[in-house]
Amino acid sequence: MSLEINISEVIRELYDVDSTPDLQETRKEFVGDLTLVVFPFVRVAKKSPEAVAQEIGALLLSKGAVSAFNVVKGFLNLSLDRSTYVSSFHSFSEDPQLGLPEKNSKGKYIVEYSSPNTNKPLHLGHIRNNLLGYAVSQILEANGVEVTKVQIINDRGIHICKSMLAWLDYGNGETPESSGLKGDHLVGRYYVKFDQVYKTEIAELIETGITEDQAKKQAPSLLRAQSMLVKWEKGDPEVVALWKKMNAWVYTGFDVSYEKLGVSFDKNYYESNTYILGKDDVRKGLDNGVFYSKEDSSVWIDLEDEGLDHKLVLRSDGTSVYMTQDIGTAIQRFKDFDAKGMTYVVGNEQDYHFRVLFLILSKLDYEWASKLHHLSYGMVDLPSGKMKSREGTVVDADDLMDSMVRDAGSISKELGKIEGLDEQEQAELFNTLGLGALKYFILKVDPKKRMLFNPADSIDFNGNTGPFIQYTYARIQSLQKKRKNDINVAWSQVSVNESETALIKLLLQFPEVINHASVSFSPAQLANYTYELVKKYNGFYHNNSILKAEDDNTVAFRLTLSRSVGEVIKKAMNCLGIQVPNRM
């Protein structure tokens, strides 16, 4: 019988209420294994928190559910007999859910991530965005939430026209097929070309005696791009046809990158469609007094009471700003999916924007507005410095993934980890290790923090890295193959040592870690838990004989313990979007 069940029964016996115990790992400065928060039972018990804790602890002790207890204010610290851990682990090892909630048991939720522009390929910053969005989605699903993964593709605006114009001027009809380039790379090349020409024109205009600001506005290339945008918005057939053709190239290129990265989406939204949304919602809000109109007919919202300023939501000519379409798109998504909440995975430079957006939706009386969340993440730096997309100095996502796979192959060969693998198996292993190294290195960092990505450090086979965890999983699979666990464990005869107990404690925390990572939208919590589990397992592996243990029951138990560690590693890494190899 698990401790949670024992506690529930004791509380029912003492206070005649059903409860789900709030158990936490006891803090290191106190004696105990687990701590029960007793404040929820104070009112029904009509006693002080200390008295309630004392009462619950005494009854648990009398029933043999704990070996000792102590009370610190409203917290009951429980010390467990090792047999209690064995009993709990017995239940855990036979649970195919690993203690996690039933699938889709906690409602519907939307996660938006990626949201690229169609004028350039994905880069390192997009990789962090995609990995965070996909991992958060996977973790939420592991915690019983039904998730819809969406992206909005920024496929309109002046930046798209710049690539189109440069292709018309310098492309000579070049296509992805004729050039051998992915479509997003080809279009990105012309975005860079436009910027080069634009800068040359600015320099030439400055030499005529005008200011730099004047030159930037008067450069012929920019004026032509602005004219093209006007034609696109008016539906000019030639401009729209070119826009569709070049965007199609980019979409195909994005799909290749997403597949390589191992992320996916349930629905794509396109800004060329969503930019018309939100106007009706603003007008309704204007009628209801949420917004106000100025003399020039522009529409605003006053957020001074919330410590912000006045925000424009419709221009005087009736056209939208980004906030307008974000209002409309959010409303549309909740109509599409009947969700209870949504997370936007967007860099921290947009913190202000989302604060305003959420306030506006709340003032428009959408019940789900309180369940909106901005997963604000920091920039990714490289040892060589920052990235600049217009100059073409970004770290291309495809190039980075390919280089990680190549490096994984070189290191694997040096370490002799490909013995017995044919060429296809080697290629699959290198891909698994390379992308696992990239993903884990990024996801183990708190999303809120700015981070430095060093490819060489990420692919190390030792330390807090993806390959270290993947290698441990492969070791466990090799162990299971050497002797299948065909002996049933006699659980009443199992006696565990200190390293086994420590490993069991960590395994039993898995559902709680998933829950915390889900609630806090932090894949880093799960990544670092997995590393701690792997460290504990390697300590156990090196200090205990498994296949040659003193008796068959101990062999069977240690194989079961190893198998459960492997299952948790695989599930945790899957939540992070990382594959694990069966052999290395």
Mean pLDDT of the region 199-214:
96
164 and 228 in contact (C-beta within 8 Å)? yes
Question: What are 30's two structure tokens?
Answer: 């106190």
Share of the chain above pLDDT 90, in %: 83
Structure tokens at 299: 């529409």
Task: Please give the pLDDT value at position 384.
Answer: 66
pLDDT in tens, 63-97: 888 899 999 988 999 998 888 889 889 999 999 99
* Strand extents, DSSP E, 364-418: 372-377, 380-381
Q: How far apart are CA 30 and CA 265, in angstroms?
A: 46
pLDDT band at 386 (very low <50, low <70, confident <90, very high): very low
pLDDT band at 390 (very low <50, low <70, confident <90, very high): very low
Question: Residues 358-375: pLDDT tens digits?
Answer: 999 999 999 999 999 999
- Tokens encoding 29: 């400065």
Show the tokens assigned to 426. 């080697």
Q: How many Cα atoms within 13 Å fall on the side-chain side of residue 139? A: 30
pLDDT of 387: 41
Q: What is the mean predicted confidence (pLDDT) over 467-479?
A: 95
Cβ distance 469 to 440 under 8 Å? yes
Tens-digit pLDDT profile for residues 133-160: 999 999 999 999 999 999 999 998 899 9
What integer is the mean pLDDT of 46-65? 94
Q: Domains plus CATH for the chain?
A: 3-80 (3.30.1360.70), 157-264 (no CATH), 397-575 (1.10.730.10)
485 φψ region: left (φ > 0), alpha (ψ -120 to 50), beta (else): beta
pLDDT at 307 over 50: yes
Could you read off the pLDDT of 416-432 as tens digits, one per residue?
A: 888 889 999 999 999 99
Q: Which residues pair with 78 in a beta bridge?
A: 34, 69
Number of H helices, E strands in the chain: 23, 14
Position 391 scores a pLDDT of 44
What pLDDT is attached to residue 453? 86
Split at pLDDT 50, 70, 90, the class of 319 is confident
Q: Give the mean pLDDT of the chain.
A: 93
Mean pLDDT, residues 449-475: 91
pLDDT in tens, 248-272: 999 999 999 999 999 999 999 999 9
Alpha carbon distance 403, 434 (integer Å): 8
**Residue of 165 and 233 predicted with greater confidence:** 165
Q: Please give the single-letter amino acid code of residue 141.
A: E
Residue 98 φ then ψ, to 5°: 55, 35
Are the C-beta atoms of residues 149 and 216 closer than 8 Å to each other?
no
Over residues 18-51, the pLDDT tens digits come to 988 888 888 889 999 889 999 999 999 999 999 9
For the record, the structure tokens of 204 come out as: 């030439």
**Cα–Cα dist 169/182, whole Å:** 20
Number of alpha carbons in the 13 Å side-chain half-sphere of residue 178: 5
pLDDT of residue 393: 53
